[in-house]
Chain A
Amino acid sequence: MILPVRLLLQTHAIPTKSSVEIIVVAGIYFVVCAAIATWAARRTRTSEDFFVAGKGIGLWTMTLAAMAATLSGFIFIGGPGLLYGAGTGALFISLSASITTPMSAWALARRMRLLREVRRLVTVPDAVGARYRSATAQGICAVAILIATIGYIATNLLALGLVLDAIFGTGLRSGVLIGTATVVAYSATGGILAGVYTDVFQGSIKAVASVMVFAAVLRGGHGLGGISQTILAHEPAFLGPWGHLTPIAALSFFLVFGLGTLGQPHVISKYYMLKDPRQLRWYPLLMTLVLVVTLLLFFGIGLGVKAAVLAGDMAPLARNDDATPAFLLQRASPLLAAIVFSGIAAAIMGTVNAFLNVGAAAVTHDIPVAIGRRVGNELAVGRIATVMIAALAALLALRPGAVVAFLGIFGWGLFASTLVPTLAIGLNWAGATRVGAIASMTTGLFVTLVFESLSGLKVYKFPAGVTASGLALVLSVVVFFVVSWLTRDQAAGDLDADVRLIMEA
């Protein structure tokens, strides 16, 4: 799950005490990732292998890869911290988890998969270009994705540096550099193929770690009922319907992380990759189950640590984001702590790999297509672009936190406002027009950049509950409908016959 960076950004050291177990388990984890990457690199021979896993992947692989890309390190660190501080309202970020995958699969899966079959599409902006017969639309989409991607990678590399520092005592700077080098090593050599197979391993660690932690939380708090009663006795508002947030703030989380799921390029691009599209039948069920299971850690630690602190079993946290490390170090076995710390690294690396692939595709494929200068050897250029994007993101990550936050904040709003109307609605509505799509994406880009900048510079502050991401999303949808309606005479001409056939299939 990707989030506005104010929530996601991990900017201070994670408290830990490196034990032998943590170092050994983390060491094994990195060796396995390296082995998978080496194997995948040997199978990556074309740009299709690099960007869309060549001949395709199986259902379980796709599910775990989509989950690993969806749930970043936030669910292990920032999420429990946010829940510890804000109460029930923080859970609205994940409350749509059982709705979003079926919704996305209905709206996008079949059409995107068939578009790939017919047009040999490689990237998500490719689908935008094909839908509207427009290189300009594809280019705007790619630029928006690239801006968002670099910011997110920077925030995740910073978090990875902090985790490596906590485990191995590398120091933050070296942690960021080592983490970047590790992810780049497998992303640049094995592309998405290395990504999806390391994601299977990383996703499995995340799921197992979450279940184990949830069980430990319940054991320590005398069950969920015991935890709730402790909280109700000391701070009942925490378990109120919105926690300590305003209703509109909590509901805004639900909307943006619900509807916005339709616009996450690193997740919906997985629809291109399934080897046998008939297996899509079970994808929503598997993905939803895996998501819900993995989110148990977010839910469990947030509530469990709050109850333990209120009961006096744990000291109050210095910072909300210390909830997970404090729980692991004070109330979990060293082995469980080791697995979860590896899970945190896994979560971050899985997300970074997915973003690197999407960003490299924008540079190598989409922007050149938009300006009419296709790259000759997309595989080689894709590898170079992966390294360049990672290097740029690492440089940003090592600058003062405000710079990273400023760039990363754009991410969510740009993805959602660019792709939800243009692609998710556009592939389901023959009446959408090219002008409508371009106006909608431009609106999303403008609203997000301007209002996040004003907010970041402290020039303007929205009232509680209103976010630039949410506003950009709803305004881009309205602009999409209105401009498409105003230019409805062009709708038929903006739709190629083969794309129309696929939309009606």
Chain B
Amino acid sequence: MALRALLVGVLSIILAYASAWVGAPKWGIWSMILGSALTMAAATAMGAGNSKVPRRSTILVSLFLFAVIGIGFGAPLFLPDESAGSVLIFGLPLRAAIEIYGVGLLPLFVLPLVFANHFRSDGLDETSLAELRRKCAELMKR
């Protein structure tokens, strides 16, 4: 599933690049936004899923990342231009704030903590590593 999503995301980005040769229409920008969101979310899901992060958490993290990137880059397309006197969010105009605090900072409070929470230290102590080396050596002898 994650690999298929990754491929679809990459194809979407190729489509976006192709649109640059025909004047970069708006659908090209959306293709790039959704392709980037899907690719990053899928790459994360691929690694997390194979690292035995519970399925539910893997799906939630991927959806979170897809939403953060998709909304973070998509929402500014619907919002009006800012000018002097515009409301600032933590010191930045709204659209830049959505991108910088949303895409740039928000994942900091989620992804590393999910990683730490579901990190499996089993199999990584000295005894287990020695056992793994023995098993692998046996497998290679066959």
Contacts and interface: CB of A to CB of B under 8 A. Distances in A.
Given A88-B96, A96-B40, A258-B36, A503 B13 contact: no
A241 B95 contact: yes
Nearest to A254: B36
Q: Of A104, A105, A462, A503, which is in contact with the most chain B CB atoms at under 10 Å from its CB? A: A105
A465 B24 contact: yes
Contacts, number: 225
A95 B103 contact: yes
A39 interface: no
Contacts of B90: 224
B136 A258 contact: no
A117 B105 contact: no
Determine which residue in A94, A113, A471, A481 has the highest number of CB atoms from chain B within 10 A of its CB, and name it: A481
A496 B129 CA distance: 18
Contacts of A179: none
B26 to A, nearest CB: 9
B11 A478 contact: yes
Interface stretch (A18-26, A168-176, A402-410, A424-432): A424-432
Interface string A102-113: 111111101001
A278 interface: yes
Contacts of B91: 223-225, 227-228
Interface residues on B, range: 35 or more
Interface size class of chain A, counting residues whose CB lies under 8 Å from the partner chain: 35 or more
A477 B6 CA distance: 9
B24 A248 contact: yes
B84 A240 contact: no
Contact of A466 (B17, B44, B114, B123): B17
Interface stretch (A5-13, A148-156, A197-205, A282-290): A282-290
Interface string A53-95: 0000000000000000000000000000000000010010011
B112 to A, nearest CB: 4
A428 B46 contact: yes
Contacts of A107: 43, 46-47, 50
Residue among B14, B35, B65 having the largest count of chain A Cβ atoms under 10 Å = B14
A333 to B, nearest CB: 24
A101 interface: yes
A224 B97 CA distance: 12
Contacts of A496: 140
B108 interface: yes
Contacts of B44: 99, 102-103, 106
Interface of A: 88, 91, 94-99, 101-108, 110, 113-114, 117-118, 223-225, 227-229, 232-233, 236, 239-241, 246-248, 251-252, 254-255, 258-259, 262, 276-278, 280-282, 284-285, 288-289, 292, 424-425, 428-429, 462-466, 470-471, 474-475, 477-478, 481, 496-498, 501-503, 505
Given A284-B112, A464-B20, A481-B3, 19 more contacts: A98-B111, A102-B44, A102-B112, A105-B47, A106-B44, A107-B43, A117-B129, A229-B85, A232-B85, A232-B86, A236-B84, A240-B76, A255-B39, A262-B43, A284-B116, A471-B17, A475-B14, A498-B137, A501-B132
